[in-house]
Each structure stands twice: as C-alpha cells, then as structure tokens.
Structure 1
C-alpha cells in the first residue's frame, strides 16, 4: 500500500505549525518583564519608551505575582525620583516575596529600601535590609553575583557597624570556596576598602598580600600592582612617606598588557606619588608626575576622566598652596569644584581632601574663619570616610587657624584630638610625619604628661616601619621583578629569541650518529645568552615547564630535517633536559604525552634527560610519571650521573633507558681507580639491563680510544671531539672522520 504524499505533506505541515505555536506560547509564558528591568538596571540605563510600554502591557495582563508587580511599580517611581512612593511599593514587594518571586526582586527590593534608609539616616534599618538582600542570594550563585554582593554592602559602609557586618559576610562568601580567582580578587579588594575605612591597617596589609598572591595565579598584573599601590597608601596612613615613595617608584605599569588598565594603574600610582612628594616637600618631582597624568588623560574616554581631572586639580592646588602660591592654588581648586560631586562617587575621601586644601588656601589668605569652616567641613566628611592622614592635616590646619584668632580652647581641643588619634587601635602614626607638618612643638607640649604613650608609639612606629620595609624588600619588589622577568620571557617566546643548538651523540666504533642533545640558547640583539642565565630566570618565574614544552615542540618540528643528515643511524633519537620538578608535575607530563601523541613521530624518538638541579620530594609520583612517560613513547635518561651521590639511588628506584656520565669521568679515567671501577660497574649494568651509556665531555682522540676499549655495547660519545652544539641548518656540515 503506497503513501499518500499529499496527505503526508498536510500532516507534516500541521505538526510543524503546532510545534512553532507551542514554542512561542511557552516563551510567552516564560517571559517576565523583570528580566528586562534587571538588564536595564545593570547596564545603568534609563527606562526607554519601548520598555515602558512592555511594562504597562505586563501590568495590565495581571500575570505577575504581587511581589513582582509592586517591585515594578516601585521601580517606575524610583525612575521618576518619587522616593516616598517608591519606598512604599518596595516595602509592599518585600512583604509579598514568595518562593516563585524573581531573584532580582527578592534582592533589590531590600537593596533599594536600604538605599532609602541611608538617605533618611535610619542606619539600623538600612543594615537590616542590606543583610536581607544578601541572604536572598543563593550561595550557589555567589560566583556570578560577586559584584551584586559588594553593591549591597557598599550601601552601609558609611558607619563602622555596617562595615563590620559587610566584612563578616564578604569573608563568609570568600570562605565558601565557590568563587573563581577573579571573583575572589574583586571581593578581597572590597574587603580592603572596608578595612581602610575602619583604619584596620593590619588586615589591610594582609588583604593586599592575598590579592597579590591570587593575582600571580592568573597572571593578573593589573590587580597585583594596584594592590602594591594600596600598600603604599597604608604606609602613608602610618606616616611612612619615604617608604610609600619607594614602593610607588618600584611599580612598573608597563608590565600590564592591556592599554586602558595600564593607564588606569599609572594614573593611580602618579596621583599617590605626587601627594606623597608634596608632603615631603619634593615639589618639582610632584609637579612632573602631575604633568604626566595630563598626558595619560588624552587616552581616557570613560566618565572616570572627570574624576581624575578633579582629583588632579585638588592635588595641584595642594601643591601650590604648600609653596605659598595662593592665586594658582585658588585657580585649580575652582576647576576641581565643577566636577566635585560627580568625582566624589569615584574616589573615597575626595571631598574631605577638597575642603582641607580650600581651608589651607583661606588660611594663607588670612581668612581664618572661612578656613575654620572648610576644615571642619572636611572633618564631617572624614566621619563617613575615615582617613588618618587627612584627619591629621585637617586638625593641624585648625590648630593654626584657631591660634591666629586667639582661640586657645579650640587649639587645645584639636591637639587632644590628635593625641586620641594616636591612642586608637591600628592608628599608629610615624614620627616622620611631624617633620613635614607644622606645630610639632604644640603637639609635644600636650604629650608632656603622656610619656608612656610616647614610648609605646615610638616602638609601634619602629615596628610598623620594619613591617613596611619587610613587605617592600621581601614581598613587593620581588613580585614586581618576577612579573618583569615573566613579561620579558614571554616576549622572547613571541619574538623567537630562543634557539636550539644540537650536539651529536656518536657511536665511536662506527662513527655513526645515534642521537642529538637539544641545548637551549637565547639570542638577544645578536648577543648569545648561555643556559645558566636562561635557566635561572625561568626557575625564578616558575616557567621551566613553559620552556620545556616549547623545546619539545621545536624538536618535533626539526626532526624531519634531521633525517637528511649523513652518518645518521636509522633509529636515532633526540634528547632534551627536564628537571625532576617537572617530572613531578603531572600537568606538564600530561602535556608532554599529548604533544608526542599528536606528533605521530613514533616511540623512542624523544629522550627526556632528567637533571637534578631541583630535588624531588614525592618519589612515588616521580616513579609513576616516569613509567607513564615511557609507556607513552619517551626514552628516559639520567643526566650528569656521578655529579651527585643521590643519582646512585636513581638506578634502583626508577626505570630508565640511558645513563649519561658526567665529564668528570672521562677527565679522571686514567688517574682514578674509583672512576675506573665505577665505569666497569656501569658497563656490566648496561649489558644486564640493555641500557645505553653516553660519555659526555669527550674532547680528544686518546679519550675516544679509551672508551672504545671499554665496550662495544651501546657505549656512546658526546663532546667537542666530534662537534660543539650547532644550529639545525649546520648539522649537515658535520664530518665524522677518525
């Protein structure tokens, strides 16, 4: 019975139409306008007409649950700046939350309510809402919500109680171990900001070091160096300006590959450096750094440029004010005022800095009451964004202003404030600061009856200075130098500066080449760098594995060219050096096996010569990895046998195919009975286990003849007698004549 094609087509068409309708119907059911609002909010966009119309349609359908409906109504009022109405709707939304409510609604109804509570100075309620917003984030989603977490807690960071709660919860998130390295870095930077606002410098230092360590894992040089700048800021806060300048001068922004991030880092560094040098009266140098910032600003197109311009102008005004150039200072502080509110969103403590400089200018102009007003305004902002350096400067400015008008009561009050600042936990200000700021005598007068505090502070300052010196010398600078070397090595790879030279391994009985050893060379501007320097730098940066992988790939590439060389045995091999540390590393071994398998060059072509410049710890792992490498097609050689007593144990513990005898053996073969007996033992071992022996460092005919007398069983020669290491293109020129 035949198929009715016409009926089949109709049925098929009907099925397809039904599926399409089902698809669109499901999508219509799944659609939630909250998704569009979430996207709009996260992109920092205003609601456009198209989205407004969508929202109206969805509200008219009455398909949303109450929580989502109230949230959308609140969001619309928020966009219209109708805070009271928005707050009412968000409260209704929050109270209507159920298990099916959209996650964005659960989180942000509370987050927006926290915002409004802060505006109304109801900080206790703001903390409650912020914590509830955070609790509505599923821990499984922490990794993708790390920015939201900080956005929630940033709302309550104006008060110490809020900061402590934020620290507690952010640490909880980090300790879940659910975060990627990048997410951890972001949240550690948030923690660092909170610690700085709490003036908890010990935790600030620890957090910066964690960020540096994490940044190394992902080669994130930008955040590593930014954390180094943060360390310099802590040194500033503790009064160690010379230490801060040393740290900032040690930073090389060129290590950051991304141009925008490099410029951002350099501007951040230069602003800090200029401020430090202004305080230490290095005015010319500070001015040069501020001029450099102007050059970088040409390349910054983001809104952040306005904030940079504002902070730069405040710093320039500060610089001119310190030098008594009041007119120039006033000009730049007026420029800064234009973008002050906008810039204050980007930089913590910017407004307090602005008012301090304004106060300095008015003080220099003899307008003491205005100066007092501005300096007190600075202190109000410092209550929200605490900063030891700024607080100290504001207090000293007030001391001077009150002295000018003869208000001794307030002079004493400000000096006592400074004393209290010193007594607080984690607020240890170095004595160095006071040689750069006036009225040290007044301060010491108040301290006369506080000799114990002076002694404690003195030792605390020595301790802090020692700690910062330790960080600079033993952690910060080595990390920067390592990153610099890494960058240089990567450029060598990119520019093909690394070269392989090959030295033949020869059977002296028939003058046939049985193999080659690949030896690394580095060519920089026509100058040949020898292996000891290359290896030292690579080990310092933990990049030996990268080089070994490059060598293996290069050997495989050169192998076909080697086949055309005269005097070559059919089953010749090529050897390369690897350290025991690399053999221990399972990741590197897996890469070796994969590269060899994909090359299709066959078994026993590549020989890995294990050197012992780095001693291994896990011998079981080494044994396992060697066995697997042999099974995958590699030969294994023990290199420089006899140099280190430990490689005697190698003969018993591990499988291998080749023993390479150090040059010491051939140089002492005639004069040392011990050497002769060792060679005799190795000869018998080579026969018993069918092992190849290679004598290294053979340089003259007499040595060749001696080796030929020892054995004709796989006893081979490598040395200048036959050839020095040469480039692949010159291997054809080798003449193996006796």
Structure 2
C-alpha cells in the first residue's frame, strides 16, 4: 500500500512539473514574440524577416489568450494591413486581460482603441482609453515604454481634454525624471515642449527646450541641440519676435553633425523656418535665397520626406510671388505644390497642408476671388485647429476678418474680429499665467532646489542659469510682448465694440466760407469720458495696431461720406482726410486694403485724402514712393501733415509727390507780431498760386489770423481751426453754422 502511494505521488509530481514546464515554455514563447514586437516598435523599425516567417508556428505554444490576441492583431495590422481583423483582436486583448498579459500589449491596444474611438467620434471613450493606458504604468516603466506612451495620447491631442490629460500625465513623469536614463529624458523634454506649445504655455516650452539643449550638449548629441535651438527660434517667431527668431535659428551650425542625412534634415528645417520669418519681415529676396539653399540637401533625405520638402518649397515660393504681386508666377508654384501634396497628418518640418491653404487663400485674395479665398482660409483654420497650430489659427482668423471687410460683410467681420480677440485672450492668459507660475514662483521660493535635492551641484547651477535666462528673457523680451498682446486685444475689443468714434473738423475756404473738406480725428469713448489721440495713439503704435485702426477709420469715413455730403455749405467734390504714418505707407498689406476699400465704396476719386505724418521710422524710400504713387493712381489725394514741425519733413517735399500741404499751427500762432512767420505764409501763398497746390493752415483760432489767410492771392489757401469749428461728431456736424467772416 505504501509503495502504491509513493508511485502515485511520483506520477503527480512528474505531471505537475511537466505542466509547469510546458506552461513556462509557452509563456516565454509568447513573451519573446511580444518583446521582439516591442523592440521594433520602440525603435520605430520594421519586424525582422525571421519573425514574419516563424511567428505563426509559435502561436500554438502560447497559453495566454490576450497575448495571443495581441500578436494576431499586431501582425494583421502591420504585416497584412487587415484593419478590421486587427480591431477585433485588440478589443479581445482588453476584454480577456489578466495578470499575465504583457504590459506592452495592453498599452498598444489602448492606443489603438483610443484612435478608433476618435475616428468614430467617441471622444469621451478615447480619452478614457488613453487615461487607462497611462495608469497601467509605474514610474520605473517610463523608460521602457516612452514611444508607446506618446502614441496612446497622440489621437486625443486634437481635443482640449486630451491635451490637458497628456500634459498632466507628462508632468507626472517629469516629477520622477531622476528615474529616467538620459535618452528617455531627451524624449520627455521633446514631448513636454510639444504639449506646452499646443497649450500656448510658451514659457514652459522655452524651459523644456533649454533643458533639452543642456542635456543634449552633455551627451554630444549635436543634432538634438540644433533642433531644439531651431525650435526655440520658432517659439520666438510665434511670440512675434521675428528678428530675435532669425538670430537664434541662424546660430545653428550643423557642420559638427557627422551623419550626412541628419545634417541635411536640419539644414532643411533651418532654411524653411528662416524663409518663413523673412516673408513676415517682407525680405522676399532673402526668403527666396533660403528656399533655394534647400536644393543641395534634398538628395540626402529619406524618400518619405522628399515630397513634403518640395511641397513646402513651392508653397513658400508662391507666397513670395503673391507678396510681390506676381500672381501668374505665384499660381504656377501653388499648382505645383498641389500636384504633390498629400492629406496625411505627418508633420516633418512645418504643417504643409495648413500652409498650402493659407498660401492659396492669399493668392486668391490678390486675384479678387474672394469666395474662393474665404473657402481656403476656412479650410486652413479647420486644419490649424485640429493640430492646435496657434500661428496658423491666428493667420487664418485675421485673413477671414479682412476678407469679410473687403466683401462689406460687417456681421461676419465682427464675428471673426471677436474670434481673434478671444483667441489672443486665451494665448495671453496662458502665456502670462505660465510665466508667473514657473519663473517668478520658482525663482523667489527656491522650489528648484527643493524639487531636485539629489541632483549634482553642476546640474543645479545649470538649472539656476536656465531660470535666470528665462527671467532675463521675460524682463527684456517677453514682458513687453505680453503688454503689447494685451494692448492689441484691448484695441480690437474697442474696435469691435464701437468704442472708437470719429470727430470731423471742417476745412474752410475763407474767401467764400465754403467747406472744402474735413479731417477725421479718432477719439476713444469709455464710460462717457472722451480720450484724445495723444492718449490713445501711443498704445496703437507700440502694439503695431495703427494699420488695423487706419483701415477701421477708412471704413467709418466711407460709411459717413454720403451724410456729410448733404451738410449745408459743403461744396461738391469735397474731401475727407485721415492720418497715416510713413511706416504704414510702407506696408504693402495696408496699401492693398486701402485701395480695395475705396474701389468697392463707389465714391468718386479725390474724395479721400491720406495725410502722411512723419512720426515713425520707415525703411525704404523707394517702397514709400511706389506706394504713394499707387494710392494716387487709385484715386486718393495725398497730403503732407504738419509741414515745418521737423526739419526732415521739409526734405520730404522733394522726395514724394503731394496734392495738399498742411502748415503746422506753429506758423500761425503769433503771426501778427512775427515778420518771419508772415514771410512763411507769403511763401506758401506763392507756392499755392504758381504750382496750383492746396495749402491748409492749421490752428487758426483768431480773426486777425483768419484775415491774413483770406487776403492771400491763391484761391487754394484754406483754414482749419477753432475760429470756424472744433472737431465734431456727425450729429453735431449736421447743425453746424459757419461764421460769415
């Protein structure tokens, strides 16, 4: 009996050992297959031929159902392109998961299901998939699954909730970055930079790129150093600091990079972004040079990128020709871009599809195909919003605002004006908020030191240097940008909310007391208080908003023109003038819009006068002269404002052609007691009489001053001043009674 029991025990033990060995073999077989899949996926490579040939024969040895389902799903998707079968398998991975299911299999399956749910419009479920995937991991796993983790979040980044989830998750990883190896830290900084840009948290993105530069330099990873440096330049461009951006990007020297493909790739990235900046700065020759520099690097890039590079080249060339008004050449290049453009969402350098539709819209606008331009910019806006491309969102919104203004669709224009303000408010809010939370708080409270107790002294010094650099950047560069952005938003709100008003001051012929014209003068009305130009123009100038405000003023003048023409004592062929600086005259965009608005108004030529003020610096005398000629040809009168205030504007008389010259108030004040001032008026009278020039004397307030002008020889010596009328709103103007002098 005892012998039988022993034999039975041996048999049971042997069976248990056999089953255990068999189970372990099958488990290890499944794990080995999944490990090979994970290795190829994390390294972003292809499965080996050996795997493809032998994996099927090993499937029968796998016990764990969910692991087997994963291998079947992955191979169906990546070897056989059988999406529907793969979908079924990945669902089963999650349904049949147990404690033996591979963590990689679960992460990948959650990522797949997140993407599937986004395609099906189930955003809530997609975000839930991404969250569940992240919660599988503990801090020590981040190094092993860095690529897989990013691909879990990527499908939901088109939603606000998804971006917040991803950013919060990666910030949790950053709390444990001391557990990461250097390679994983580099990857972390890149992803955090991407996410902070998507959330318009530019200060954090700057910090991430600075951290990346420091770490990559320490690792002698010159390609990563230079890409991060270019990205810093791109951030500066997005903040509107174009010259700073150009300097940062130009600083990159890629010659240290031994790998010729990597070097070529970075040179292309560098020149594309430099060209974009030069277009913004209107340096079209330089932009074209940068684009042509790309040609010599094309042969070194991988085939998948080649079409993208060529499409971007053609798009940028089209934009250059559009800005130069060579529309035929622009159309040729944009059509070439269209022929090779694809609709994939992979962005190697910049977002080609969004940039294409913006470039196409700009061309169509210049071709006066406004409906088509509207369609192109709306398409660009949709694409930019999908990728949270803030720069392109702003471009598209501004373009649509201008199109509706040109169309005369004021309702739509106001709507897009509101959208611009709302968008800028979001950016400004995040930008200021992240600075104060990050730079000032950490710097004052010493949190950088508390969070990193175990780091080496050298790294701590580098961290402090980074904080100081951010602080310097804020004080001397970013803070003024925040102020300017807030001012822009405020000014746009006032424009849209009709807080600005126009006052009109009559210009009188003292010989017959007829009104020959008016000067439109802007005021700001807030809570029944009126703010004068000297209080509001400075903010507009600092915020680079004078052009936008000038277009609003012209719109308002054109709206009021008919009513003003019916006022008593106003002659036929009267004009209304508005002030524009030389800097604005130099701006091709403003000139095109001024001409377009006048052309579409139906008002006769020489009814609107542009008074040029020389209160700002301009760069190109030739460009100013050409643009003045364009305005005159389009039907505008051109006046020189405040002649004699500065020596330089006397010289302007020789450089540019003017229809009207306005003498500054200085020459009429105290004229009865000044022979020199009397001589100036006599000279102006002679010039007006012999050259048939209109002269307007400003600041006439007293009868003796008026009589001096009335007694001149020329019939084109006019008066503007309080002797006849102060500036009035339209309703007051209608009841104006001119003094019978």
Q: With structure 1 as the length reference, what TM-score do the two structures score?
A: 0.53
Deviations 1:361-397 (A, max 9, x none): 2222222111111100111112122233322221232
Deviations 1:217-272 (A, max 9, x none): 22333222222212221221122212212222333223434433322222211111
| Contact 1:130-1:152 within 8 A present in 2 as well | yes
Equivalence for 1:408: 410
Where in structure 2 are there 5+ consecutive unaligned residues? 1-19, 433-477, 501-523, 527-534, 544-741
The 5 A counterparts of 1:89-238 are 89-176=89-176, 177-238=178-239
| Contact 1:117-1:123 within 8 A present in 2 as well | yes
CA change 1:261–1:74 in 2 (3 A) is closer
CA change 1:124–1:398 in 2 (3 A) is same
Pair 1:422 & 2:424 matched: yes
| Contact 1:239-1:432 within 8 A present in 2 as well | no
Pair 1:445 & 2:446 matched: no
SS in 1 for 2:243: helix
Deviations 1:91-120 (A, max 9, x none): 221121122222331221211111211211
Equivalence for 1:288: 289
- Of 365, 368, 383, which aligns to 1:366? 368
Equivalence for 1:75: 74
SS in 1 for 2:158: coil
CA change 1:461–1:299 in 2 (3 A) is farther
Displacement of 1:67: 0.7
Where in structure 1 are there 5+ consecutive unaligned residues? 1-21, 463-738
Deviations 1:164-188 (A, max 9, x none): 2112222222332111222212211
SS in 2 for 1:99: coil
1:37 & 1:62 partners in 2: Cα distance? 17
| Contact 1:310-1:340 within 8 A present in 2 as well | no
| Contact 1:431-1:461 within 8 A present in 2 as well | no
| Contact 2:360-2:376 within 8 A present in 1 as well | yes
CA change 1:312–1:187 in 2 (3 A) is farther
CA change 1:320–1:113 in 2 (3 A) is same
Give the total of aligned pairs: 435
1:283 & 1:432 partners in 2: Cα distance? 29
| Contact 1:388-1:427 within 8 A present in 2 as well | no
- Of 374, 377, 383, which aligns to 1:375? 377
CA change 1:248–1:203 in 2 (3 A) is same
1:25 & 1:153 partners in 2: Cα distance? 35
2:539 & 2:383 partners in 1: Cα distance? 29
1:179 & 1:340 partners in 2: Cα distance? 38
SS in 2 for 1:98: coil
2:539 & 2:98 partners in 1: Cα distance? 59
Equivalence for 1:354: 356
Equivalence for 1:31: 29
| Contact 2:239-2:481 within 8 A present in 1 as well | no
Pair 1:318 & 2:307 matched: no
Displacement of 1:35: 4.1
CA change 1:70–1:249 in 2 (3 A) is closer
Displacement of 1:357: 0.8
Q: With structure 2 as the length reference, what TM-score do the two structures score?
A: 0.53
1:36 & 1:24 partners in 2: Cα distance? 21
1:447 & 1:134 partners in 2: Cα distance? 46
SS in 2 for 1:214: helix
Deviations 1:583-634 (A, max 9, x none): xxxxxxxxxxxxxxxxxxxxxxxxxxxxxxxxxxxxxxxxxxxxxxxxxxxx
Displacement of 1:296: 1.5
2:416 & 2:118 partners in 1: Cα distance? 29
